[in-house]
Amino acid sequence: MGRHELFLKVFAAFVVGLVFIGFAAVLWPTNGRVSLPPLLAAIIKGVDNPAPTVAQQPLPPYVPPSEIKAVYATSNTALLPKRMDGLKKLIDETELNAIVINVNDSNKNIVSRPELVELVKTLNANNIHTIARIVVFQNEALVSEHPELALKTKNGNIWRDGGGHRWVDPSSEEVWKKILNISEQAVATGFRELNYDYIRFPSDGAVSSAVYPHWDKTKPKDEVINSFAKYLRQNLKSRHLDLILSVDIFAHSILVEDDTHIGQKFLDIVDYFDATAPMVYPSHYRAGNFGFKNPAANPYGVVFGTMDKAKKKLEAAGKPKIILRPWLQDFNMGAIYTAAMVKEEMRAVKEAGFASGWMLWNPHNVYTKKALAQEE
């Protein structure tokens, strides 16, 4: 057989095959619809969608602002579009570049709410550094869901601190797992940073009468807190390399050498987080601190004195590169806080030698715009 005749026969067979497959396509039912048979569908798919020849490039690692300047928003504010529009406008018009959103305050946990997911997506798209504030051991929502994890009174009732708040046992690994779960949800929601508050034992109320379901009171409180902090870091950093972890601490822990009876030792806890946020609200200092009769009326002196003390302790401990990003007061307590007073706090942070930023706290989320540098 000649080469030409062989080609004609092969070509004829190919045409017949295509006709047959096309006919089969008409008769191939799928859920009441006509579709291509698998073989032809696979062939066409392979033609229309060839396998990529170049591997998809991974996204570049997230780089946060070198100086984070944030305001705080409650869960309620985060779920109210008009309130959030006001805060986004404030951020857009001033030096602010970040926001801290409470994801589990009071008796609710909003970390996976669709509205929050969309909000965080929008904030990230607008280059606003997103921080999830996670309340840890003073945890109303967790107590409501799992009362067996709560601190109790001697007669078996739920124990409450001086403010009427309920707590879970800081030494319970079951509690640790639940906080880790909330953390993972916050990461999935899109937050760039997780900020942990109330990583400590209770500080007020009938503390000595509290009954702990797990803690036997033999392991020192600071070791309990450090163990939990280590657990968080090991689990989260191994999965999310770009994730930033920060912790809120009592500013008083900087001024003393012990754990202030709540488990927070300043020079220990800083090792487990990328940034530490001492709450240097002048209104929370006692008369006589730094020589002031009314510390609240002396924001620069209180903030500078605290941050300068922190810097010296870190340097003496061989930890000069630790990042401190304090919470600053923008609310009226102990004094009427003016724009000038808020600015004095910010100046004190810088002049104490810290350039990683600050976060403003106002429980009603109403901030003093005149205290903030305006964007051109």
Interval 213-268: pLDDT, tens: 999 999 999 999 999 999 999 999 999 999 999 999 999 999 999 999 999 999 99
pLDDT band at 105 (very low <50, low <70, confident <90, very high): confident
Interval 318-328: pLDDT, tens: 999 999 999 99
**What does the alpha-carbon distance between residue 6 and residue 13 come to, in Å, rounded to a whole number?**
11
User: How far apart, in Å, are the Cα atoms of 370 and each of 114, 232, 296?
Assistant: 34, 38, 20
Residue whose structure tokens are 């004095």: 344
Interval 80-96: pLDDT, tens: 999 999 999 999 999 99
The pLDDT of residue 108: 78
Report which of residues 341 and 56 the model is more confident about: 341
SS3 168: strand
SS3 178: helix
CA angle 367, 370, 371 (to 5 degrees): 75
Residue whose structure tokens are 């909003």: 110
The pLDDT of residue 61: 84
The pLDDT of residue 145: 93
**What does the alpha-carbon distance between residue 254 and residue 352 come to, in Å, rounded to a whole number?**
14
Of 219, 228, 133, 224, nearest to 178 by C-alpha is 228
CA dihedral in degrees (368, 369, 370, 376; nearest 10)?
Answer: 160
**What does the alpha-carbon distance between residue 279 and residue 331 come to, in Å, rounded to a whole number?**
13
Locate CATH 3.20.20.70 in the chain. Answer: 68-371
Interval 173-192: pLDDT, tens: 999 999 999 999 999 999 99
The pLDDT of residue 43: 38
pLDDT tops 90 at residue 358:
yes
pLDDT tops 60 at residue 18:
no
255: phi then psi, degrees, rounded to nearest 5: -85, -10
CB neighbour list of residue 150: distance below 8 Å, 6 or more residues apart: 143, 158, 159, 166, 167, 168, 169, 213
Which tokens hold the place of 192?
């760039």
The pLDDT of residue 106: 63
- For the chain, give the percent of residues with pLDDT over 70: 84
What mean pLDDT comes out for the span 96-110?
90
Interval 274-297: pLDDT, tens: 999 999 999 999 999 999 999 999
CATH of 68-371, one of 3.20.20.70, 3.30.1950.10, 3.40.50.460, 3.40.50.10490: 3.20.20.70
Of 47, 32, 117, nearest to 78 by C-alpha is 117
Q: Taking all residues of the chain, what is their mean pLDDT, rounded to a whole number? A: 88
Which tokens hold the place of 290?
């730094």
pTM: 0.84
**What does the alpha-carbon distance between residue 266 and residue 281 come to, in Å, rounded to a whole number?**
17
Q: Are residues 101 and 163 in contact, defined by beta-carbon separation less than 8 angstroms?
A: no
What mean pLDDT comes out for the span 121-137?
98
Helices and strands (DSSP H and E) totals, the chain: 12, 10
- For the chain, give the percent of residues with pLDDT over 90: 82
The pLDDT of residue 64: 95
**What does the alpha-carbon distance between residue 352 and residue 307 come to, in Å, rounded to a whole number?**
6
What mean pLDDT comes out for the span 161-172?
97
The pLDDT of residue 59: 59
**What does the alpha-carbon distance between residue 192 and residue 62 come to, in Å, rounded to a whole number?**
8
What mean pLDDT comes out for the span 333-351?
99
